[in-house]
Each structure stands twice: as structure tokens, then as C-alpha cells.
Amino acid sequence: MKSKIVLLGPPGSGKGTQGEKLSEEMGYVRLSTGDMLREAVRNGAELGMKAKGYMDSGALVPNDLIIDLMKEKISTLEPGTGVIFDGFPRTVEQADALGEQIEIDLALNLDVADCELVERLTKRRSCPECHCVFHLTHNKPRQEGVCDKCGSPLYQRDDDCDETVCNRLEVYRKNTLPLIDYYERKGILVTVEGTGKMDEIFAKVKEAVR
């Protein structure tokens, strides 16, 4: 089994969901920069407030800020722990910085077409309390605007609005696509088609991890 995995894929590709399933079924510790940043913003932590300005405009949070947060997390892990990095690295610079901390043995790339991504992202609604995510077409909440799980009012994340989504995909292409080449050159890249039934995608993901 691969022990240090980087998950790659544009916003909305479902890599968060796949990472969660890997963590539930196979015991990986999932380090998501997105969750980590949102948590820091909610807590009003210093690094979090710095990051918020960048996130709201759909821009990338600067490397040194991400790396500081990530270093903090890595230092708390037992040696030999299986780890999934989700949302980090996003640039070749970050990948080099991560490589200095930890040896990555698999880069898993979830591939989804842009038109499908826009459809998925702009119709996404999130729960601020339990972090459940719904979709207005594919995964409607039972009652409009209310979380099925905990009854909280749902909201649209600032970075899921139309304009910001297009900006995010552009930023992704510019910064993250070189990462695919980077890990391919290292011989540890596996690309999985991220369209279709979630369980079928997960079966392919598990195969890549073994």
C-alpha cells in the first residue's frame, strides 16, 4: 500500500470525497489544506485571517503561508503514518517544499472536464455546522436550504460563485498543471477518470493505492 499520497485534480473533481473515503476505509490521515484554512479562518487564527483575503478572491494562498500550516500538521504525525495530501501541493514550488519534508510515493490525479466542473461547483451548497455538501441537481437536501443531517441553514461558499469558479479553474490550470508533469517525471503519477459513479471512481482509486 502506498503510504504518502498527493491528490491532484481541479476544484470540484471530487478529490475531497475520494480522500475522505480512503481515510475512512483504509486508515489514511487526510491533510486537507482547504479544511485546514477554513478552520483557521473560523477560529480567527492569525494565519487564517491572512489567508482569507486570498481565498475570497479565488486567488492562491501564498506558498510560505501554506507551508507553515502544513509543517505544523506534519510535525504532529507518528512516523510511518499513511497520509493523503488534499489541496497541497498546488504548485511545483510547494511540491519541492513538501518533498523536503516527506517522500511522496503516489500522485493520484482525478481528471474531470471543465464544463462538468462548473456545473458541479456553482450548484454546490454547504452546511456551516457539520460540513455536509449538497448539490441542487444531483444531491438535493430533503428540505430546500436546510441540512439533512443537522438542520442548519445551507450556504453557498464565497468561492463557489460563478465568477470565482471560472477564476479558480484558471488559477488551477496555470499553477497546478505543471505538477502533473512534475510527478510524471518522478514516475509516481496515476491518472483516474473522475466522471461517473462515485463508487466506480473509488474502486479505481483503491487500485492505484495498492
Report the interface residues with Zn ion, using CB under 5 A.
Answer: 127, 129-130, 132, 147, 149-150, 152
Active site residue 120: no
Task: Work out how close the CB of 132 gets to Zn ion at its nearest, in angstroms, rounded to a whole number.
Answer: 5
Geometric angle at alpha carbon 169, from 158 and 208, rounded to 5°: 110
Our CB check for Zn ion shows the closer of 49 and 130 to be 130
Nearer to Zn ion, 153 or 178 (CB): 153
- Which residue, 2 or 135, has its beta carbon nearer to Zn ion? 135
Annotated catalytic residue, options 90, 120, 125, 204:
90
Active-site option among 2, 50, 157, 206: 157
Give 2's strand partners: none
185 catalytic per annotation = no
The least distance separating Zn ion from the CB of residue 182, rounded to whole angstroms, comes to 37
- How far is the C-alpha of 135 from the C-alpha of 147, rounded, in Å? 11
Report, in Å, the least distance between residue 128 CB and Zn ion. Answer: 8
Instruction: Identify which of residues 113 and 150 has a Cβ nearer to Zn ion in the complex.
Output: 150
Q: Pick the closest to residue 90 from 15, 191, 192, 193 (CA basis).
A: 15
Q: How many residues does the chain have?
A: 210
Q: For residues 124 and 188, what is the distance between their CA atoms, to the nearest angstrom?
A: 32
- Whole-number minimum distance, CB 130 to Zn ion, in Å? 3
Active-site annotation holds for 173: no
Task: Measure the CA–CA gap between 170 and 72, rounded to whole angstroms.
Answer: 29
Distance between CA atoms of residues 116 and 122, nearest Å:
11
Q: Which residues are catalytic?
A: 15, 90, 124, 157, 168
